[in-house]
Structure 1
Amino acid sequence: MGNSVWRQGPDWKERDAMKTKLTKIEPIGVDNFNIMLHGPIAAGKSSFVDSVKSVFVDHVAVNVLAQAHTDHSCTQTYSGHRIEYKGSALPFVIYDVMGMEDSMASKGMHSDDILNALKGHIREGYEFDPKEPLDATSEWYNAHPSKNEKIHCLVCVVSANNITLQKTVAQKMRDIRQQANKLGIPQIVILTMPDLACPKVASDLKNIFSSTEIKTKVDYCSNELGAPLNCIFPVKNYHSETKLNDAIDVLVLDALIHIVQAAKDYLWSLQHSGKAD
């Protein structure tokens, strides 16, 4: 790892200012920014939700009960996570979905259900079925979703420590990206577990943007998933920590600001194109 940086990172002293900034980004024409996480099993989707909560509740939160070293998804139902800060709800809702697995295993998230969720067709509380996507005749199917029920930014979560994707999973993720592109929905990639992928990042998280190992992982993500480099953000989730860490918070907040801003830009474009509904 050299001394040069591959990206100008966030200001490590701006944790509180970044929190305040997120409270002031206002949705356009909707009640909340709707953000949906997807990706392979054990990539850290639920842990990312908990990490976001931790930043704003000022203690390490474990409300989602993410499982460590699991070979199946811990998320079974479709639900939105709402977060409060200083007594007020933040202007975004994070939706977590079942992790994706090899299609031959007949388990994991069905690609069609991700598309259903993007379009707002899935009601909260729906229990995912890996073998069959939600049927339009089901009580859980929302036939006429409002703009408040659609997804405004799709976030792919991938582990830097286990980044080599199964071919079928990688293809599913590329297909989902293409579908989201057709809908005009912006996409961000979160690269988790950078500390496990690079010893020098493990010793000091602030080395993350000068780590050649992490840069290699980011490049792989871009090539494999087709995501632009400036849409890929390395983030360390809370995992073994029992106390808050400013560097972890800043990385989480930096990624979240870009996610919410992407959602706002999308809603602005819809409103000005006459397609807001």
Structure 2
Amino acid sequence: MLHLKVFTNNGQQSAVEKPWRDQKWNEEHMGVMRQSLETYKPNRSQNVRTANILLLGQIGAGKSSFFNTVNSIFRGKITSQACIGSFGHSVTLKFNPMVPFTYHTPGYIKNPALENKIHCVAFVIDGSTVDEMSDKILKQLKDLQITVNQRGLPQIVLLTKVDKICPDVNADVTKTFTSSAVCSAVEKVANIMGLPRARVFPVKNYENETGLVVGINILVLEAMKRCLDLADDFIEEQV
């Protein structure tokens, strides 16, 4: 990964000449990725029918919007189906608004089988507020991460609202990996969470768009693919 910062004369960060993360932006690549995720099946030998991905993040970070964005991609149109729930195609997205999960919580299973456990955790962080994150939120994230680490769960970060970090990305989401502002946000979040930068995925959720956008789809599909790769690894390790 190449990390560069370039400043214009007025002190503002601008684009870098070489992308700091390689990415294909064409429709063919998007189609291949979408097909791969549509046909995804977890490790059947462990009787696991779905990969369970837990989304963790503060209110307003973009958890439900991410769900709706994923749903839109596979439905082929902009949808706003649900604020909480699950997603088909052998993948389940579960939400947690940073509140304790106890035996009183609906759906609680005391001794879950592997198929009922969480297989990967995605921390959802608002990229536009990285520099303004309060000590309280930071502590909540780290406390949650301690619990996740204790359970040996793989984890990534979904860095949302990247269009609000950089005007160039707002105009064209394919500028994400040539934006030094987004690169800087990725690096900061990676340091906060103690994760490799390769585990931090900049994404943009559908908000004002009336139709699907290839670039937005690709960012989200890349993040989903990594989640499922990590979920597969976790499931296989439970043998």
- Give the aligned CA root-mean-square deviation in angstroms: 1.6
Q: Answer yes or no: is 1:7 the counterpart of 2:12.
A: no
Shift of 1:168: 1.6
Q: Which residue of 2 aligns with 1:23?
A: 38
Query: What amino acid maps onto 1:252 in structure 2?
Result: V
Q: Deviations over 1:204-251 (max 9, x none)?
A: 111100100001100110111212111000001000001111111111
Q: Which residue of 2 aligns with 1:41?
A: 59
Query: What amino acid maps onto 2:193 in structure 1?
Result: L
Query: What amino acid maps onto 1:9 in structure 2?
Result: Q
Q: Answer yes or no: is 1:225 the counterpart of 2:200.
A: no
Shift of 1:178: 2.0
Q: Answer yes or no: is 1:80 the counterpart of 2:89.
A: no
Number of aligned residue pairs: 220
After the TM superposition, which of the residue ranges 50-59 and 142-151 deviates more from structure 2? 142-151
Q: Which residues of structure 2 form unaligned runs of 5+?
A: 1-14
Query: What amino acid maps onto 2:127 in structure 1?
Result: A
Q: Which residues of structure 1 form unaligned runs of 5+?
A: 66-78, 84-89, 99-108, 114-133, 272-277
SS in 1 for 2:61: coil
Q: Deviations over 1:177-222 (max 9, x none)?
A: 1221221110010011111110011111111001000011001101
Shift of 1:173: 1.0
Shift in CA distance, 37/257, structure 1 to aligned 2, threshold 3 Å: same
In 1, the alpha carbon distance for the partners of 2:80 and 2:179 equals 29
Q: Which residue of 2 aligns with 1:274?
A: none
In 1, the alpha carbon distance for the partners of 2:158 and 2:109 equals 29
SS in 2 for 1:240: coil
Q: Say which of 243, 250, 266 aligns to 2:234.
A: 266
Q: Which residue of 1 aligns with 2:165?
A: 197
In 2, the alpha carbon distance for the partners of 1:244 and 1:207 equals 17
In 2, the alpha carbon distance for the partners of 1:267 and 1:202 equals 37
Name whichever structure is richer in helix by fraction.
Answer: 2
Q: Which residue of 2 aligns with 1:97?
A: 96
In 1, the alpha carbon distance for the partners of 2:24 and 2:52 equals 24
Shift in CA distance, 11/204, structure 1 to aligned 2, threshold 3 Å: closer
Instruction: Give the alignment's TM-score, normalised by structure 1.
Output: 0.75
SS in 1 for 2:208: coil
Shift in CA distance, 139/154, structure 1 to aligned 2, threshold 3 Å: closer
Query: What amino acid maps onto 1:187 in structure 2?
Result: Q
Q: Which residue of 2 aligns with 1:152?
A: 119
Shift of 1:146: 1.8
Identity of aligned residues (%): 30
Instruction: Give the alignment's TM-score, normalised by structure 2.
Output: 0.87
Query: What amino acid maps onto 2:91 in structure 1?
Result: F
Query: What amino acid maps onto 1:245 in structure 2?
Result: V
Q: Answer yes or no: is 1:210 the counterpart of 2:210.
A: no
SS in 2 for 1:80: coil
Shift of 1:141: 3.6
Q: Is the 8 A contact 1:48 1:237 kept in 2?
A: yes
Shift of 1:139: 7.0
Q: Is the 8 A contact 1:36 1:151 kept in 2?
A: yes
Shift of 1:175: 1.9
Query: What amino acid maps onto 1:149 in structure 2?
Result: N
Q: Deviations over 1:52-111 (max 9, x none)?
A: 00000000011125xxxxxxxxxxxxx53122xxxxxx111001122xxxxxxxxxx32x
Q: Deviations over 1:160-182 (max 9, x none)?
A: 11123211211121122122122
In 1, the alpha carbon distance for the partners of 2:117 and 2:206 equals 29
Q: Say which of 43, 55, 64 aligns to 2:73.
A: 55
Q: Is the 8 A contact 1:10 1:254 kept in 2?
A: no
Q: Is the 8 A contact 1:81 1:95 kept in 2?
A: yes
